[in-house]
Amino acid sequence: MGFDAVDCFAHKRNSCTALKVKQCEGCSFYKTKEQYELGQQKALERIYTLDIAKQKHISETYYGGKLEVIADEG
Looking at the structure of the chain, the number of domains it has is 2
d(CA 52, CA 13): 38
Domain identity same for 26 and 43: no
Domain identity same for 48 and 62: yes
Domain identity same for 9 and 27: yes
Where are the alpha helices (H) located in the chain, listed in sequence order?
33-47, 52-63
Q: Give the domain range for residue 15.
A: 1-31
Query: In this predicted model, what pLDDT tens digit does every residue of 50-67 receive, in sequence order?
Result: 999 999 999 999 999 999
Domain identity same for 27 and 51: no
Query: Comparing C-alpha atoms, which of 45, 39, 2, 44 is closest to residue 18?
Result: 39
| Mean pLDDT score, 27-41 | 93
Domain identity same for 10 and 27: yes
pLDDT at 2 over 60: no
Domain identity same for 46 and 64: yes
What is the predicted pLDDT for the residue at 3?
63
* pTM value > 0.85: no
